[in-house]
Amino acid sequence: MENKPSLPALTGVRAIAAYMVFIHHFNPFSKEVFGERFHSFINQFHIGVTIFFVLSGFLICYNYYEKKINFKEYFIKRFARIYPVFFLLTTLTFFYHYFYFSKGINIDFRDYLFNITFLKGFFNDLKFTGIAQSWSLTVEEVFYLLAPIMFLLIKKSKIWLFILPIGFLVISWLASSFLFDKAPLGFMNDFFFVLNYTFFGRATEFFCGIGLAIFFLKNKKQLKFKYFTHLGLFFIIVSLYLLTIFDINKKNYEGQIAITVNNLILPLLGITTLFLGLIREKTIFSRFLSNSVMVKLGKSSYVFYLIHMGVFVALLNKVTTNLFFHFIVLNCIAFLFYKFFEHPVHLFIKNKYAKN
């Protein structure tokens, strides 16, 4: 099989997604200075997580859909890419809590085990323990686990692109309805939790990426329409605006509308269209995201995402609370962590245990 072309713009966009989540968590645009509407608009930058999910669906499908998957090689590569950094940073986080917050109280090994096994994301009571934002890795890992099986089904019939996400929604709704307020630790607590924090509720985002990858692999010719990038950005901005109107945290019709925007309209019309533009069109956006600096930042964005809240920020706060200073220092730490730990360990595990 011929080597697939690299897609540097989609590496650069990883950095943008991580920075959006950072800005969402530390919104510097106060209501008093910038107005409530703009403050609320920036608060919706949690969609960086949606960008990651669509991108994961695209890249895994792009790299594996046309192959006969060697399951051992596949899972070792996924493990090497995700787990060593996550395990180290999660362990550091729990030790930090022990020495600086617990004051001698034993580390909660239950929470630690649920974190390092990626299980915490199934439990409403535990989803923000450890590295708070790592709940999204539970979502990612479930996708990685199911992806080879889903690809086999989709190869048999493209109708599975629609049946599977609907099926996941129905199954999760039935499970959450049955378990409502009954399961310990808020396991699959309610349907709103499932829709916001689990793969089964957010599968549509991955399937948008999968659908785009299949379309891209099957349609090698350039498309006549030349404005996918701009159209995608337009729908992303519209989706952000809609999310300022409808509160995604409300457990009523308003929350249902917001979840529909975030989990379906945004990834389908906005992010997927943008990605198609970034890989098919030569624009100022694709050139910017493809430059060497953005590609390097994109490669270290996984570490940045894991450290942008938590231990490192707590330590930086002892020096200054200046957000721009935090942003620069966290990027430097993330790059050094990627260069001297994440990437070498990834290559070592992959080369030693997974045949190419």
Q: What is the pLDDT of residues 228-285, one digit of tens each?
A: 999 999 999 999 999 999 999 888 889 999 999 999 999 999 999 999 999 999 999 9
Average per-residue pLDDT for the chain: 92
Predicted confidence (pLDDT) at residue 22 exceeds the cutoff of 90: yes
Is residue 80 very low, low, confident or very high in pLDDT (cuts 50, 70, 90)? very high
Is residue 104 very low, low, confident or very high in pLDDT (cuts 50, 70, 90)? very low
250 versus 207: which is more confidently predicted? 207
What span, in angstroms and rounded, lies between the C-alpha atoms of 23 and 282? 28
What span, in angstroms and rounded, lies between the C-alpha atoms of 137 and 50? 12
pLDDT at 77: 94
Q: What is the mean pLDDT of residues 289-295?
A: 97
Predicted confidence (pLDDT) at residue 134 exceeds the cutoff of 80: yes
pLDDT at 179: 67
Helix axes 8-25, 323-337, angle to 10 degrees: 140
Find all residues with CB under 8 Å of 230, minimum gap 6, and list them.
277, 283
The 10s digit of each residue's pLDDT in 145-194 is 999 999 999 999 999 999 999 999 898 888 777 766 677 888 887 889 99
Q: What is the mean pLDDT of residues 341-346?
A: 96
Q: What share of the chain has pLDDT > 70, as a percent?
A: 95
Predicted confidence (pLDDT) at residue 114 exceeds the cutoff of 60: yes
Q: Which two tokens stand for residue 87?
A: 């395990």
Helices (H) and strands (E) counted in the chain, each on its own, are 19, 0
Is residue 353 very low, low, confident or very high in pLDDT (cuts 50, 70, 90)? confident
Q: How far is CA 46 from the centre of its chain?
A: 10
Predicted confidence (pLDDT) at residue 102 exceeds the cutoff of 90: no
Measured CA angle at 97 (ends 93, 98), to 5 deg? 115
pLDDT at 189: 79
What span, in angstroms and rounded, lies between the C-alpha atoms of 186 and 5? 44
Please say whether the beta carbons of 7 and 279 come within 8 A. yes
What span, in angstroms and rounded, lies between the C-alpha atoms of 18 and 47? 10
pLDDT at 224: 82
Q: Which two tokens stand for residue 175?
A: 């499970």
Q: Which two tokens stand for residue 135?
A: 């709940």
- Taking the domains of the chain in order of start, what are their residue ranges? 8-353
pLDDT at 254: 92
pLDDT at 161: 95
Predicted confidence (pLDDT) at residue 1 exceeds the cutoff of 70: no
Please say whether the beta carbons of 188 and 234 come within 8 A. no
Predicted confidence (pLDDT) at residue 105 exceeds the cutoff of 50: no
Is residue 107 very low, low, confident or very high in pLDDT (cuts 50, 70, 90)? low
What span, in angstroms and rounded, lies between the C-alpha atoms of 172 and 350? 34
